[in-house]
Amino acid sequence: MLSQENVIEISDLKKTYGSDEVIAGLSFTVNKGEIFSLLGPDGSGKTSIIEILVGLSKPSEGEISILGFNIKSAIEMREIKKIIGFLPQEFRTHDNLTVKENIQFWGKMYDNMIDTSEILSILNLEEKANTRYKHLTPSLKKRVGLAIAFVNNPEIVFLDEPTAGLDQFSKREVWDIIKKFNKEGKTIFITTNDAIEPQAIADRVAIIHKGLMKDIGTPIELIDRFSSGNKVIIKSPTERARLDAIEILQSACPLEVLYDEIIISSEEITLLEILEKLDKAKVRYSDIITQKPTLNDVFITLTGEALNKK
Amino acid sequence: MSEQSNEVSQQHTRDNEEKNRFKKTLLNIGSSLKRITNQVGGISLKYFRSPSSIFWSIVYPVILILLFGAMFGRTIDTNYNLEVYDLDNSTESIALINDLDNLPGLTLNLIEEDVNQIDDWIREENIVILLEIPETWGLRVSLNQTSSLTVYIDPSSATAKIVLEIVEEVVSTQNINLLDIDPKYDVILENLYTNELSFIDSLVPGIIMITISTIALFTSLSYDLEEKRSGILQKLATTPVNKFEWIISKQIWQIFITILAGLLTVLFALIFSFNASSLHPLMLVYIVFGTMTFSGIAMILVRIITNPDGVIIASVLITVPQILLSGALVPLDSFPELLQLISRIFPLYYLTEGMRFLMLEAATSLWWRFFLISASIAIGFFVIGIFATNWKKDS
């Protein structure tokens, strides 16, 4: 039976398509009322996991219960569908219906629909209520998608990459909305390939790679566990200056070069020592900044690969 | 006593359980109907706000019946022209011209001017048929001598051939009259069916079925594909809506639209003297069969097709051969034997013929045969379509 705290329990979940194993034995739990994030690059199995949880796909092996209901039972799955919300990746609702009509359309599929004006107000969509969906900006479309995911007053909401393709400002808007719903007691399960997202909103994050769980914990726990202090980032004004800086510094400490940036762990060498070495050799630099480690650094430490390979 | 009360209590519990189950079933049916109504409402709003949907359901059937009615419904404004060049001007030639002139639907244009080269003149004036009565024709006729009339004809013209048949018919009647004999045998026309149908009457079922097949196929394909590509189908599968409710909702709307298209076809067919008394209530059932058949085919195709271009190609590949070869527009008896056999593989053939038999109040056995075949095709395609529908990722 389900413990009082856990609303989702996943045990040894496996999923294969032919000979391709996309989920290779995952076990974790999601607590009631938390924002839980699955962080991994494209193709790591995030969408496959969410599709299994919302009943779009069946697990090849393993046990899953949501709010005490076993997802393998068709009758219990029917009950699960009444109490969950879901926003698929790249979801577009009916183009020729207005925002309000779309929300009502999806809401009436359930017996416990939230009042339309209430949800329009939560998502700041009142002014666009009578605008057809096709005339909205991508950011507003995403907000309508969120309204639809929450329209049945669900206990758990599954959001598959809800901020994909949005600019930083729109992302923050979406995060604010998610946090607003979370404060009302909703459990949010979110997938992302953006390391900033779980740091910004998640209570706990599970890092997955090639269908395997790499680690799980709060963002701070993971960063503390796997990152080695702050990073020093040096930007050079010219290619020549950058090469000179690399030559001077690489004898003193290990460094990483990413595009026009030289990245050094501050555990290896202090900022003051770096500045002294560069000044002594008369190497020019345009900027030197220190940066706290992110979940992306954790991901690199755990997998040896960057989250976003672009 | 205690045993008896125990039994009563158990019976009471069983009754309560039964009542609760019944209540739950009623609630489930109520919720299901609510979801279906909601979806039909959503589809109708979408439909009437989409110009392409309006085209297919309202404009297209009207264009089709106006076009084919004008082409084949010859009951109105059927008039043929015949140019007559009378070089004789005798009593006999005038009598012949009067006989021709008295025929309904034939307009005679007498050439008054002198023409030197008749062949060239005909070509210059763009004339397709001309009757020339030569000099002394009347005299020779009055003397019981054989005398020929000349008809100049453009062999590529279909109307010229019809006019020629009319002229020949008049000439042979005149010949019989001149010989002063009674015809020995005659032909009496007997209609095989109770209803007398004109060509436009038999064309209407074909046009209704073409419209239905096109609407059901095009709109189902584009609607289903759009829902699949936009994630709406995925999202629906995670709500309490089930696959059957989704399909039933779409089907209810499709049937409404195809009945509307059928009514429009009949309404506009009245312009071409369509005989409305030949309509039969069971034609509505045929419209339902047609919708089910082509929606079923669309559901099967959506399983395979992944982009909008595929929708156009598949629709054209399925509808065009059927329209041309199923006998919906062109009577099958004018086809070579092989094509007549091929026509029987098309669902449209059975649906159109079945509807025609209904209108003709035809022999019971034939009527039932087509009805049963059409019903089987409709149910068959629809059921396969339901199974083929990719509602969930693994299904």
B38 contacts chain A (CB < 8 A): yes
d(CA A243, CA A245): 5
Q: Give me the sheet containing A212-217, strands edge to edge.
A: A84-87, A156-160, A187-192, A35-39, A204-209, A212-217
Q: Residue A85: is its pLDDT beyond 70? A: yes
More confident residue, A124 or B395: A124
Of residues B41, B240, B393, nearest to A81 (C-beta): B240
Other CB atoms within 10 Å distance of the CB of residue A239: 9
Would you call A155 helix, strand, or coil by DSSP? coil
Percent of chain B with pLDDT over 90: 30
C-alpha–C-alpha distance, residues B353 and A183, integer Å: 65
What integer pLDDT is reported at residue B74 of this predicted model?
Answer: 56
Which chain B residues touch A136 with a CB distance below 8 Å?
none
Q: Do A109 and B241 touch (CB under 8 A)?
A: yes
Buried b / exposed e along A213-233 (16+ C-beta atoms within 10 A): bbbbbebeebbeebbeebbbb
Compute the mean pLDDT over every residue in chain B, rounded to the nearest whole number. Answer: 85
Residue B236: list chain A partners with CB under 8 A. Answer: 109
* CA closest to B31 among chain A residues: A111
Instruction: Please tell me the distance from the alpha carbon of residue B133 to that of residue B130, in angstroms, as a whole number.
Output: 10
Cβ–Cβ under 8 Å, residues A218 and A205: yes
Specify whether the CB–CB gap between A106 and A123 falls below 8 A.
no
Residue B394: the pLDDT is 53
Cα-to-chain-centroid distance, residue B33 = 34
For residue A211, give the nearest of A36, A9, A48 by alpha carbon: A48
Q: From chain A, pick out residues whose CB is under 8 angstroms from the CB of B230.
A: 91-93
State the nearest Cα–Cα gap between A58 and chain B, in angstroms. 7
pLDDT tens sequence across A21-40: 999 999 999 999 999 999 99
Q: Starting from the edge strand earliest in sequence, which strands make up the sheet with A255-258, in order?
A: A255-258, A261-265, A231-235, A287-291
Is residue A29 less than 8 Å (CB to CB) from chain B?
A: no
**Distance separating alpha carbons of residues B132 and B146, to the nearest angstrom:** 16
Residue A243: CB atoms within 10 Å:
13
Q: Which two tokens stand for residue A104?
A: 């009502």
Whether A165 and chain B come into contact, CB under 8 Å, resolves to: no
Ranking A253-262, B33-42, B209-218, B262-271 by mean pLDDT, the lowest is A253-262
Residue A166 burial (10 A CB sphere; 0-12, 13-18, 19+): middle
Sign (positive or negative) of CA dihedral A228, A234, A239, A240: negative
Quickly state the pLDDT bin for B189 (edges 50, 70, 90). Answer: low
pLDDT of residue A310: 44
Which of B229, B236, B238 is most worth mutating to test chain A (most A CB atoms within 10 A of its CB)?
B238
Q: Number of A:B CB contacts under 8 A?
A: 76
Average pLDDT rounded to a whole number, residues B320-335 = 86
Asked if the C-beta of A134 comes within 8 angstroms of chain B's C-beta atoms, the answer is no
Nearest to A293 by CA among A266, A275, A270: A266
CB proximity A113 to B under 8 Å:
no
Point out which residues pair with A232 in neighbouring strands. Answer: A264, A290
The ipTM is: 0.82
Minimal C-alpha gap between B238 and chain A (Å): 6
Is B231's pLDDT higher than 80? Answer: yes
Mean pLDDT over B331-351 rounds to 88
Whether the CB of A39 is below 8 Å from some CB of chain B: the reply is: no
Mean of pLDDT values over A43-54? 92
pLDDT class for B11, splitting at 50, 70, 90?
confident
Over residues A125-142, the mean pLDDT reads 94
Which pLDDT value is given to residue B395?
Answer: 46
Beta-bridge partners for A132: A98
Q: How confident is the model at residue B190 (pLDDT cuts 50, 70, 90)?
A: low
Q: Is pLDDT of B75 > 60? A: no
The β-bridge relationship of strands A212-217 and A204-209 is: antiparallel
Residues A98-119 have a mean pLDDT of 93
B2 pLDDT band (50/70/90 cuts)? low
Give the Cα separation of A58 and B395 in Å (integer): 9
User: Which residue in A206, A238, A286, A219 sits closest to A44, CA to CA?
Assistant: A206
Q: How confident is the model at residue B297 (pLDDT cuts 50, 70, 90)?
A: very high
> Which of A57, A86, A96 faces B235 most closely, judged by CB atoms?
A86
pTM exceeds 0.95, yes or no: no
pLDDT tens, position by position, A209-234: 989 998 999 998 888 887 667 788 89
What pLDDT, on a 0 to 100 scale, did the predictor assign at position A250?
A: 85
CB < 8 Å to B43, chain A: none
Q: Which residue is associated with the tokens 């639809």?
A: A148
Cβ atoms of residues A146 and A87 within 8 Å = yes
pLDDT at A3: 42
Q: For residues A209 and A40, is the Cβ–Cβ distance under 8 A?
A: yes
Structure tokens at B363: 């022999």
Structure-token match 């099967």, residue found:
B300
- A189 DSSP β-pair partners: A36, A158
- Check residue B162 and give its pLDDT: 87
pLDDT band for position B52 (cuts 50, 70, 90): confident
Cα distances from B92 to residues A46, B9, B148, B258, B306, in angstroms, run 98, 111, 13, 60, 75
Considering only CA atoms, which of B155, B144, B262, B280 is closest in space to residue B214? B262
Q: Do residues A96 and A134 lie in contact, with contact meaning Cβ atoms separated by under 8 Å?
A: yes
**Contact: A105, B50; criterion CB under 8 Å:** no
Would you state the pLDDT for residue A2? Answer: 37
Q: Which helix (H) or strand (E) holds A287?
A: strand A287-291
Tell me how far apart the alpha carbons of residues A211 and A170 are, in angstroms, rounded to a whole number.
Answer: 30
Q: Do B232 and A109 touch (CB under 8 A)?
A: no
Beta strands in A84-203 (DSSP E): 84-87, 156-160, 187-192
- Which residues in A lie closer than 8 A to residue B46 (C-beta atoms)? 94-97
Residue A308 has pLDDT above 80, yes or no: no
Position A148 scores a pLDDT of 96
What does the angle CA B304 – CA B305 – CA B310 come to, to the nearest 5 degrees?
145
Q: What span, in angstroms and rounded, lies between the C-alpha atoms of B137 and B130?
A: 16
**Lowest-confidence pick of A303-307, B235-239, B329-333:** A303-307
Give the pLDDT score at B361: 65
Of B35, B45, B231, the CB nearest to A97: B45
Residue of A nearest to B45 (CA): A97
What does the pLDDT average to over B92-105? Answer: 88
Mean pLDDT computed over A285-310: 78
A240 touches chain B (CB under 8 A): no
Region A193-201 average pLDDT: 90
> How many CB atoms are located within 10 Å of the residue A206 CB?
24
Contact call for residues B36 and B248 (beta carbons, < 8 A) = yes
